[in-house]
A and B are shown apart, each in its own frame.
Chain A
Amino acid sequence: MRTDTNPHGVDPVRMYVSIFGGLMALTALTVGVSFIDFAHHLPSGWLNVYNDAAAMAIALSKALLVVTFFMHVRHATRLTKIVIAGSMTFFLFLFAFTLADYFSRGWLGPPGK
């Protein structure tokens, strides 16, 4: 959203530095959580994927920061935002249907077995 003080969507340098710092901190966090085996500290469910979930959550946060600030999407037109949302939807299709295969293996066997 453009404001009167920022009519052309140009952000101050300190904002970029802050985002860069945030990205570095999240990178350090990624390295940090890789040394923790969450499965030992949390109850194990049918999906023992805590480490993967943590790494993906951090990666997603970093991607959002890059897209929102470095790629100036927060200043973009509605059409650009629709394009990004559409792209993310197709990306989710890829993940959702692929994981649907992995998660449902063994639910049903071939007929007669």
Chain B
Amino acid sequence: MSETVTASEAPRENYLNRDHSVASWLLTRDHKRIAILYLIGISIFFALGGLMAVLIRAELATPQGDLFPADVYNRLFTMHGILMIFFFLIPSIPAVLGNFLIPLMVGAKDLAFPRINLLSWYLYMVGASFTFVSMLWGGIDTGWTFYTPLSTTFATGQVLLTAVGIFIAGFSSILTGLNFIVTIHRMRAPGLTWFRLPLFVWAHYATSIIQVLGTPVIAITILLVGAERLFHIGVFDPKYGGDPVLFQHLFWFYSHPAVYIMILPAMGVISELVTCFSRKKIFGYHFIALSSLAIAVLGFLVWGHHLFISGQSVVAGTIFSFLSMFVAVPSAVKVFNWTATLYKGSVSLETPMLYALGFIGVFLIGGLTGVMLATLGIDIHVHDTYFIVAHFHYVMVGSAIMGYLGGMHFWWPKITGRLYPAFISKVAAVVVFIGFNVTFLPQFILGYLGMPRRYHTYAPEFQTWNVMSSAGATVLGIGYLLPVLYLLWSLKYGEKAPANPWHATGLEWQTASPPPLENFEVTPVVTEDPYSYPDGTLRPKEVPVGV
């Protein structure tokens, strides 16, 4: 590959300083600027969703309903779920890091459809605005799952407005996925064959397939909820010949694979981090790449495990139980390959690597409890308890946010051209890991003891574990706040970043930090396999990794 460009050689004009006008940002077709726009958008909605989590945990610190009546509490956890899932977790890594990095990683000047990319961001913002207005207007209390007949017949909140918001944002997701698929197929640099692609790109390719194939189903399902609510068309209402369980089939056909929209990109990030900070070629490249596709396909065949006690037939439940356990195989392939990569590697505990190791830990717990929940008998025992809450937070929140933060810390010098403080960022990574586990491990115990989810009051014997969970949430909140502060600080005061501060492989590190408008001065030519680190070689000591 070509020589790296140092900071002093970096061109003075880059995508950030080329034009400072507001119009140049709002009308940009540059994938890097659109990634920054997404970063701002998802950060706002993460903060809002996080604020609701704080209120939920504050309420649950005592067994009584001290702070909110039941109805307000229902609206709080519903909007927390909707904001976090549809407007943070699903777009987080693909729309920010994927948008920024995929053209760079494949050696292209931009995504295949730059205008559609900008349209995706506008659709996301319009959808999020609808949902935000619905919140201000009283919100909804259906849970993020919109289960019928509650959502169609009995709920009194802004169901339609919120549904419209999610419907619109869904198109943003579809168009982003489409853009990635076409870019990866058509715009790879000369010599960049499929099996020379970074695993981050493979993970996003698999994610995009889910986005394109699954999202239309949730869009139609939400439309049907709206039509049922307005016109009583009778798709889900037994009074008119419909079936509420049909809603659950349609909803989970998308919403279970949506978990993989959140986790697969994070897995892509972790593959990059583990190999880079082990200074070792990744173990089992082909298996990791193809396991992403296997997860994308198998992820569509397991939705029925959400319906084990919803009236689904025992035969279907048994089939879905088996398939749900089967999806653990490609997930485990990744975990084993990451740990095998660490073996005899020259592991350095830089901030991104701390998040990567944290990811492996929390994903292991989330994944293994997933296998437990795929077992019919156990699932029936803990159904609708805090065990479920803890499980999906370990997978969707712990793992996906560990991946997101790890990726942000890894590519922040590339994105902004600035280094962040190394020590405080490592402290933050440890605080996030501790805070997360103190928050959610007690919830496994609470759930197993029988505490149901979605109630604002609970039996007094559950209080100790709830106080521990709320205390952990405070620690976690501090852990999330720290990166916001020091990353913003670094924009003005951080040391200028060289092109390749981590001495990583990959085309994105072969161009300046931040990259020029069209990414590369000359179209790169790829001549070797990815991750060609000299196995186990220590990184040169003079390489700057922080200020």
User: A residues engaging B (CB < 8 A)?
Assistant: 79, 86-87, 90, 93-94, 97-98, 100-102, 104-110
The answer to whether A104 and B246 have CB atoms under 8 Å apart is: no
Q: Is B217 an interface position by the 8 A CB rule?
A: yes
The answer to whether residues A87 and B213 also contact, given A94-B253, A97-B301, A101-B249 and a CB cut-off of 8 A, is yes
In the assembly, what is the distance between CA of A106 and CA of B312, in Å? 10
CB B214 to nearest CB in A, in angstroms, measures 8
CB B52 to nearest CB in A, in angstroms, measures 32
The answer to whether A97 and B316 have CB atoms under 8 Å apart is: yes
The answer to whether B217 and A101 have CB atoms under 8 Å apart is: no
The answer to whether B313 and A106 have CB atoms under 8 Å apart is: yes
In the assembly, what is the distance between CA of A110 and CA of B308, in Å? 11
The answer to whether A90 and B300 have CB atoms under 8 Å apart is: yes
CB B346 to nearest CB in A, in angstroms, measures 42
Closest A residue to B181 by CB, please name it.
A83
Q: Is B314 an interface position by the 8 A CB rule?
A: yes
The answer to whether B213 and A79 have CB atoms under 8 Å apart is: no
The secondary structure that dominates the A interface is helix
Per the CB 8 Å criterion, the residue count for chain B at the interface is 20
How many residue pairs at the A-B interface have CB separations less than 8 Å? 48
Closest 10 CB pairs of A and B: A104-B315, A101-B316, A108-B314, A105-B313, A104-B313, A98-B249, A90-B213, A101-B312, A100-B316, A101-B313
What residues on A are CB-neighbors of B315 within 8 Å?
100, 104, 107-108
What residues on B are CB-neighbors of A97 within 8 Å?
249, 301, 303-304, 316, 319-320
CB B111 to nearest CB in A, in angstroms, measures 18
Q: Is B344 an interface position by the 8 A CB rule?
A: no
The answer to whether B314 and A100 have CB atoms under 8 Å apart is: no
CB A32 to nearest CB in B, in angstroms, measures 22
In the assembly, what is the distance between CA of A102 and CA of B246, in Å? 9
Q: A105-B313, A110-B314 are in contact. List 11 more A-B contacts (CB 8 A).
A: A94-B217, A94-B249, A97-B249, A97-B301, A97-B303, A98-B249, A101-B249, A101-B304, A106-B313, A107-B313, A109-B314
Name the contact of A98 in the complex, choosing from B185, B213, B246, B300 (C-beta under 8 A): B246
CB A59 to nearest CB in B, in angstroms, measures 15
Q: B245, B249, B316: which has the most chain A beta carbons within 10 Å?
A: B316
Pick 29 A–B contacts, CB within 8 A, sort by A: A79-B185, A90-B213, A93-B300, A93-B301, A94-B217, A94-B249, A94-B253, A97-B249, A97-B303, A97-B304, A97-B320, A98-B249, A98-B253, A100-B313, A100-B319, A101-B304, A101-B313, A101-B316, A102-B313, A104-B313, A104-B314, A104-B316, A105-B313, A106-B313, A107-B313, A107-B314, A107-B315, A108-B315, A109-B314
In the assembly, what is the distance between CA of A52 and CA of B366, in Å? 42
In the assembly, what is the distance between CA of A100 and CA of B322, in Å? 15
Within 8 A of A (CB), among B292-337: 300-301, 303-304, 307, 312-316, 319-320
